[in-house]
Chains A and B, each alone.
Chain A
Amino acid sequence: MLAKTVYASFPHDRQGGRRQDWYYRIVVVDAAGNRSRPSAEIAGHSAESVAVSGRPLATVGAFDQRSLELALAPSGSAQYRTRFPNGVDYTVGTSTPGTDWSYIQPGPADAWAGSKASRHTFRFALDVVPAGETWLSIWLLDTHASNPGTLDLALNGTAIPTVKLENGATRGSLEGDATVPGTLLKPSYVELALPTAALRTGENVLTIDKRLGSWHVYDALGVFARP
């Protein structure tokens, strides 16, 4: 059995980045414990993440539905203001996830972080600009339940359309492993094609600004060449 729920829908999440094919059927159990006959089968599948299908060019963190390897994780948000007073500035190759990439990025709705916008900067070098599409993959472990806010992304100063984040469960600031059975964490994913014209050989700078809403917590982030 996959799950029991009282809700009208069941999000079958946390399947990892690879496409998975599933067949489902539903049994209704009433208050007396009586079980219905199983429903007809339905088929479904998850989409494959570019973090799995793509060729990694630069990453921070492991795409594993955990924030634990990142700085301050899993519950050190109170130290954010002193450890990252000017936000995060991370350079692939010299920075390390456990000290330089804060697991949490606050927003202006977060009094604990000074009620102001924040920025995570991700610097990565390219020997050559890939010929095909280059994609950004951000796996989020969780976001604020009612006010997840937005991401304003820019690559080398070229703005990318604002991303509205999905509502999470407001638990990722406290716990860091979405693979634990029964966890309330609500992971979500942001994957999009980067503007090819904005990429360049040498150092590239991706900025992630949080100008609206409350915090989000990272699982991992990466730039990938799409096959």
Chain B
Amino acid sequence: MRPAPPADPFQLGVASGDPLPDGFVLWTRLAPRPLEPDGHGGMPRVPYTVRYEVAEDAAFRKVVKRGQAVAAPELAHSVHAEVHGLRPGREYFYRFRAGTEISPAGRTRTAPDPRARVADFRFATASCAAWYHGHFTAYEHMAREYLDLVLFLGDYIYEYGITSANMWRQGVPLPGPEHAVETTTLEQYRLRYSLFKTDPNLQAAHAAAPWVFTTDDHEVQNNYADDWSETGIAPGDFLRRRAVAYRAFYENLPLRRASLPQGPGIAVYQRRHWGRLAQLDILDNRQFRDRYPAGAVVDNSPERLDPRRSILGEAQERWLYEGLRRSSATWNLHASGVVMAQIDRTTGPGESYSNDMWDGFPANRDRLFAAWRRHGIANPVVFSGDIHRGVAAELKADWADPASATVGTELVCSSIGSDGDGAETDGSAPVWLGNPHVKLYNARRGYLSCRLTPAALTSEFRTVARISTPGAPLATAARFVTEAGRPGLNREA
């Protein structure tokens, strides 16, 4: 007989993720005191049984699945319950029970049958949620959209110390000194997730729809590349840090058992389908990437053009191209942490590129575009984040020739929190808009809301005018339509 857990253990909310046609993964983490400095959320160091139920209705009158899982201290009392045997393409509701404590309920859904002709797929993309830079108002609005899926594109947490210098979230006390240092240990990463996940708007967004994830750099450390750290941490040590960072990532998100890190490695890249409508390739562009070509973040070094350079690594590239070869989906969606479009950073004569993005790996990008051509890939669309700006771009066959064919479309969501209030435009706009294939640049916080049908992708850049204080209304900064069979962007609003 396992003991009853402490009172009020569901303070970090509930979540669901990775919808398949027959089920999904349900997540919660027992944490009656989420901000305990040891990262264990106020839980005794013993395992607890957590029960869950899945219903077809929000009132839980028609429960279709019940099960139980163990919340163990080794995994910070997180629960990752993989549910199978459900019907494809429909909505479900779920909740947990630990002892006599009942969690809030969440809504989720299964993916459609892989053979289904799906008429309509509604999803959002989000990234870069620096809790300390402002309120998660964007998540608050996202939770109110009736979404089939949320695609999270990296920087769910930030590793930086939280001090009065970067605490721009008004009306909230500065977290204690244990939050003021850069996260390097397991307890620090756990505590950082706990801090961010205490936000009710983030909890609401998780409870409203299933999420899928890729990572960017701040889940571990700014700008890292495989085992390379920009602060000079020895590779062996950095891999130890990566191991605990990935472990905390797993513990705090609705990920399947297959994503439980093995040492310093975690399975991030994966392929999912939404009926016959879409194939979604979720890419990992941190764990296997090459280092900066000539040591600098921004340059135009000849080493950048080395054909051996890869942002995905050899195995992932092989997996991606093979998956594209087999694809018969109407739309082929790629989730990338960082921007894929070429962006020349120099206004006027000369060229420079960010080696932190796909621009640091042009040969890899060329190989991907070649795979699209080779396999006749229908309607490639890249979703990315990282830059804290909403950007829409056309992916070109020849970047130097604006009249060349548009081979794909890229939609970059802004940040949920990072960089504070922002503005409609800012000093970097001339750089981005100076690249003729960039059709939108917006420097507000927000997310991207999409509706995908067999005929078109409609993408709306949702923004909020401020996040330093809560309550900003939602606006739509731009709406684009991408027609099936015609890559590119048609601006509607």
Contact = CB atoms under 8 A, between A and B. Distances in A.
Contacts of A169: 231-232
Nearest to A166: B232
B213 to A, nearest CB: 21
Interface stretch (B102-110, B175-183, B452-460): B175-183
Interface in A49-103: none
B72 A6 contact: no
A175 to B, nearest CB: 10
Contact of A6 (B75, B182, B231, B241): B241
Contacts of B40: 33
Interface in B229-264: 229-234, 236-237, 240-241, 243-244, 247
Contacts of B76: 31
A93 B103 CA distance: 71
Contact of B295 (A7, A147, A186): A147
A182 B180 contact: yes
A30 B185 CA distance: 11
A6 B73 contact: no
A170 B232 contact: yes
B186 A6 contact: yes
B184 interface: yes
A171 B229 CA distance: 13
Contact of A33 (B73, B185, B231): B73
Mostly, the A contact residues are loop
A7 B233 CA distance: 9
B181 A182 contact: yes
A142 B453 CA distance: 54
A46 interface: no
Given A6-B244, A7-B237, A34-B45, A145 B74 contact: no
A37 interface: no
B295 A32 contact: no
Contacts of A5: 184-185
B185 A4 contact: yes
A204 interface: no
A10 to B, nearest CB: 10
Contacts of A109: 295-296
B382 to A, nearest CB: 30
B38 interface: yes
Contacts of A147: 295
Interface string B36-49: 00101000010000
A22 to B, nearest CB: 21
Given A8-B237, A8-B240, A186-B232, A31 B74 contact: yes
Contacts of B230: 145-146, 170
A171 B160 CA distance: 13
A34 B186 CA distance: 13
B56 interface: no
A111 interface: yes
B259 to A, nearest CB: 16
B177 A145 contact: no
A168 interface: yes
A75 to B, nearest CB: 12
A182 B182 contact: yes
B161 interface: yes
Nearest to B238: A7
A182 B180 CA distance: 7
B231 A170 contact: yes
A32 B38 CA distance: 10
B317 interface: no
Nearest to A110: B296
Interface string B70-95: 00111110000000000000000000
A111 B247 contact: no
B184 A111 contact: no
B187 interface: yes
5 contacts: A7-B240, A32-B74, A145-B231, A146-B232, A186-B232
Interface of B: 38, 40, 45, 72-76, 161, 177, 180-182, 184-187, 229-234, 236-237, 240-241, 243-244, 247, 295-296, 299
Given A6-B240, A29-B187, A31-B74, 18 more contacts: A4-B185, A6-B184, A6-B237, A6-B243, A6-B244, A8-B240, A31-B76, A31-B247, A109-B296, A145-B230, A145-B231, A145-B232, A146-B232, A168-B232, A169-B232, A170-B230, A182-B161, A182-B180
Interface of A: 4-9, 29-34, 109, 111, 145-147, 167-171, 181-182, 184, 186
The 10 closest A-B pairs by CB, nearest first: A182-B181, A145-B232, A32-B73, A7-B237, A169-B231, A167-B232, A32-B74, A6-B240, A31-B74, A33-B45
